[in-house]
Chains A and B, each alone.
Chain A
């Protein structure tokens, strides 16, 4: 029997992306640069997060013409973002044939209470999280891949580190929790009980977990990998830098060899200025993208 869109097939693509870098691109030319550098996938966008942050206003799904032009330009998987809770944007992205949808806090949320019921879609979804409970709620809704949120568009890795450490330490804590205490743990972290039991037993998330939000250098990428990320999203960090092609390639190499300081030193050399960035600690509460969604 032939079956499409099973959970195995949906999370399977994310498994094939492990150890790789997914890059935000806004034009077919940028998509080619990303592919030539060795990106495992691209995120097709109208504006990178740093510009969304600078320009303000309502950020929505990109124009399908831009997404289609990028899909035409490369052979690697193409992802696109929809607003949190905006299931019609997701329907449109599925109709376009994108390979993955990011239900993203970088865009202005369309629903402040409900995320998309992702089980209803054939296309797989990736969602952001700041802690284990949030990750398991998204997986409960059908997300086949998770990424930590970090603070997008800043070039400051501090929030990505905070969220990855939090998720990994909460997983470790669950593995040493008595079985008869798991219901209370599920209640406390507001996560589906069955998924809490699964994580406690297996010692890992049931889906792949990438790092995102503020990664701007090869060292940042390797830091997130050493903290336990399965792979890396780079948003503004590449095309807001001095030399995108060189930086993109260096981040790919650093992600593959994240545990080898000699290679990290070599690839970090002479790749131009990183994006200028914005200290995440200087943001006002209403400027923080990570608090969107629940």
Chain B
């Protein structure tokens, strides 16, 4: 199993070590031609406007879409969730449109409203996951093919569509590798 972590901006190192700990071979992806041959791609936490612009400038947008069509699975946390969306309610910025949902950016407020909380995720079982939300988005509504995997106070914060997984919080800043392992299982057809 070979997974790339998009290494343009954000908490790349955290995702690299989590994915490695979950059992995959990991590469840092700095050029769009590195996506060839990957089973999965992780879009890390970062600033979504920055990562979106760098993706456009360095030819990632079409390349990721092309490989998603041949079966590349994409896992996005926070910024990655925003970039996976079909629509962003409060911004016209670039997105991949690989998952059929509408997202709201900075939906929980500014940094002083950032928080951590225990989230029940039936797909990965007990115990609840300690989820860290940083100026986080949440999903306002999902289309038919999207499976909601977790909510926090009624807000959708984890969703799956086929081989793609979108998460509003940051499992990579904790030591809990269960969501990364779940993504690898998705890629291998075990989940």
Could you list which residues of chain A lie within 8 angstroms of chain B, going by C-beta atoms? Answer: 1-6, 8-9, 12-13, 15-20, 35, 37-41, 75-77, 94, 97-100, 122-124, 252-253, 256-257, 260
Contact = CB atoms under 8 A, between A and B. Distances in A.
Interface stretch (B18-26, B42-50, B61-69, B177-185): B42-50
B78 interface: yes
B170 A12 contact: yes
B119 to A, nearest CB: 10
A97 B57 CA distance: 32
Interface stretch (B33-41, B106-114, B141-149, B158-166): B106-114
Contact of B173 (A3, A4, A12, A260): A12
Contacts of A18: 9-13, 46
A122 B54 contact: no
Nearest to B11: A15
A1 B119 CA distance: 9
B10 A4 contact: no
Interface string B112-139: 1111111000000000000011110000
A256 to B, nearest CB: 5
Interface residues of B, number: 40
Contacts of B110: 77, 97-99
A2 B30 contact: no
B8 interface: yes
Contacts of B53: 37-38, 252
Interface of B: 7-14, 30, 45-47, 49-50, 53-54, 57-58, 78-79, 90-91, 105-106, 110-118, 132-135, 170, 173-174
A13 B57 contact: no
Nearest to B45: A16
Given A5-B112, A40-B46, A252 B54 contact: yes
A3 B118 CA distance: 10
Given A13-B134, A19-B10, A76 B116 contact: no
A37 B53 CA distance: 8
28 contacts: A2-B115, A2-B117, A4-B112, A4-B115, A5-B114, A6-B116, A8-B116, A9-B115, A9-B116, A9-B133, A12-B134, A12-B170, A15-B11, A15-B45, A15-B173, A16-B45, A16-B47, A16-B79, A18-B46, A19-B7, A20-B9, A20-B50, A39-B50, A40-B47, A99-B110, A99-B135, A256-B58, A257-B30
B32 to A, nearest CB: 13
Contact of B91 (A41, A75, A100): A75
A15 B114 CA distance: 14
B116 A38 contact: no
Contacts of A12: 114, 132, 134, 170, 173
B98 to A, nearest CB: 21
Contacts of B30: 257, 260
B14 to A, nearest CB: 7
A139 to B, nearest CB: 17
Nearest to A99: B111
Contacts of A260: 30
Nearest to B79: A16
A4 B53 CA distance: 30
Choose among A2, A18, A97 the residue with the greatest number of B CB atoms under 10 Å from its CB.
A18
A188 B67 CA distance: 55
Given A8-B173, A12-B132, A123 B50 contact: no
Nearest to B111: A99
A40 B111 contact: no
A76 B47 CA distance: 7
Contacts of B11: 15-16, 18
A191 to B, nearest CB: 24
A247 to B, nearest CB: 15
A35 B48 CA distance: 11
Nearest to B54: A256
A13 B134 CA distance: 6
Choose among A15, A17, A37 the residue with the greatest number of B CB atoms under 10 Å from its CB.
A15
Choose among A13, A94, A260 the residue with the greatest number of B CB atoms under 10 Å from its CB.
A13
